[in-house]
């Protein structure tokens, strides 16, 4: 009888551990984020004239914005990637004051999955 109770207790604790592991996994998926440097179109970690060239090439359909990383990192006003974004980055490179926080790292929530409660 005691042996049976120990076995039941073991099964219950294993089930609780499995449920907790599933819950943590679900939370980590829903919290997926990516970090970008605003204005870093080519993703090399710095903002320079090469990033302006990438934006211009994307706008001219000479380069694809695969995955949308250029738009996410360089659409400064949130109204779509356009030549004004390239111009604002050029102004930043010329050390004009910018209100777009070019060169700063920010997070972008790529997707958010619905919360799935553990039953
Ligand atoms: Ca860059
Ligand atoms: Ca824009």
98 and 43 within one domain: yes
Tell me, yes or no, whether 119 lies in a domain. no
50 and 12 within one domain: no
Distance 97 CA to ligand 2 centre (A): 17
Averaged pLDDT, 26-35: 55
48 and 83 within one domain: yes
**Three state DSSP letters for the chain:** CHHHHHHHHHHHHHHHHHHHHHHHHHHHHHCCCEEEECCCCCCCCCCCHHHHHHHHHHHCCCCCCHHHHHHHHHCCCCCCCCHHHHHHHHHHHCCCCCCCCCCCEEEECCCCCCCCCCC
Is the pLDDT reported for residue 23 higher than 50?
no
Is the pLDDT reported for residue 85 higher than 70?
yes
82 and 62 within one domain: yes
User: pTM, whole model, 2 decimals?
Assistant: 0.65
Distance 118 CA to ligand 1 centre (A): 42
> HSE of 80 in the Cβ direction (CA atoms, 13 Å)?
3
Beta-ladder partners of 78: none
61 and 19 within one domain: no
26 and 54 within one domain: no
Of the bound ligands, which one is closest to the alpha carbon of residue 39? 1
104 and 50 within one domain: yes
Distance 84 CA to ligand 2 centre (A): 6
Of the bound ligands, which one is closest to the alpha carbon of residue 71? 2
Maximum Cα interatomic distance, the chain, rounded to a whole number of Å: 81
Tell me, yes or no, whether 113 lies in a domain. no
97 and 54 within one domain: yes
Tell me, yes or no, whether 71 lies in a domain. yes
Of the bound ligands, which one is closest to the alpha carbon of residue 79? 2
pLDDT band at residue 18 under the 50/70/90 scheme: low
Question: What are phi and psi for residue 105, nearest 5 degrees?
Answer: -85, 140
101 and 43 within one domain: yes
Distance 71 CA to ligand 2 centre (A): 8
Distance 29 CA to ligand 1 centre (A): 28
* Domain that includes residue 9, residue range: 1-32
Distance 43 CA to ligand 2 centre (A): 18
């Amino acid at each position: 009888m005691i042996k049976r109770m120990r076995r039941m207790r073991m099964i219950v604790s294993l089930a609780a551990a499995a449920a907790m592991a599933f819950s943590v996994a679900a939370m980590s998926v829903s919290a997926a984020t990516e970090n970008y440097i605003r204005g870093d179109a080519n993703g090399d970690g710095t903002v320079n004239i090469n990033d302006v060239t990438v934006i211009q090439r994307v706008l001219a359909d000479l380069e694809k914005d695969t995955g949308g990383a250029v738009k996410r990192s360089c659409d400064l006003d949130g109204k779509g990637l356009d030549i004004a974004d390239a111009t604002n980055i050029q102004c930043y490179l010329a050390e004009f004051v910018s209100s777009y926080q070019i060169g700063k790292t920010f997070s972008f929530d790529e997707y958010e999955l619905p919360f799935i409660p553990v039953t």
